[in-house]
Amino acid sequence: MRTKDQGTLDKILKFVNKYYQENRVAPTISEVAAGVGVARSTTHRYIQELSDRDLLDYGRGILSAPESAKMKTAYIAAPLVGSIYCGSPEEEEENVEEYVSLPVSLFGKGDFYILRAKGDSMVDAGIAEGDLLVIERNCPASEGDIVVALDQEQQNTLKRYVGFDNDEKCFILAYENEARYPGEVIKLKSFEVQGVARHVIKAL
């Protein structure tokens, strides 16, 4: 029996997983052979080896959905739509820069979009300039949530929603940088919640 090249096995498994993730169906033997650049007969032998190792499912000459790929195909495409100012309200245009695939296993299910943070008013909440914020839209905001707030002047900002002040009859949005903005808040008679921040993506 010929010894199987581990590099070729890895390439085939990677191709099958990627193909399944992108197309939601498994590739044929011919598609794998063309994608990896090896002979169809060789591809067949290697796929059978991967199947024997329980790394993918293979039967009757047709690939079924590989278990390894099934575990990785639950993704949500979230648009990266620009920046949100972490400071005083600032008008921003929503322009889709790209779409980012978010694994459901990490981010959960929801109607998400992504914003890039600007400014330093939310650093105590772990949000620094340049961080990517995963925002869930079409959901109610609870006290304590970090929200994308659109004010009466159609300007938006990212702040902690503190709640409604019954004495002053206004909503309170708080800064999260005690060293630079001690006790500073924004008071609004009304505002629109454009989304609630659920996750922060950043480089270490």
Q: Which residues contact 174 (CB under 8 A, 6 or more apart)?
A: 159, 160, 162, 184, 185, 186
Amino acid at 52: D
In the set 105, 118, 159, 187, the catalytic residue is: 159
What are the beta bridge partners of residue 201? 132
Report the distance separating Cα 196 and Cα 136, nearest Å.
5
In the set 41, 51, 118, 121, the catalytic residue is: 121
**How many helices (H) and strands (E) in the chain?**
5, 11
159 catalytic? Reply is: yes
88 catalytic? Reply is: no
Report the distance separating Cα 135 and Cα 194, nearest Å.
9
Positions annotated as catalytic residues are: 121, 159
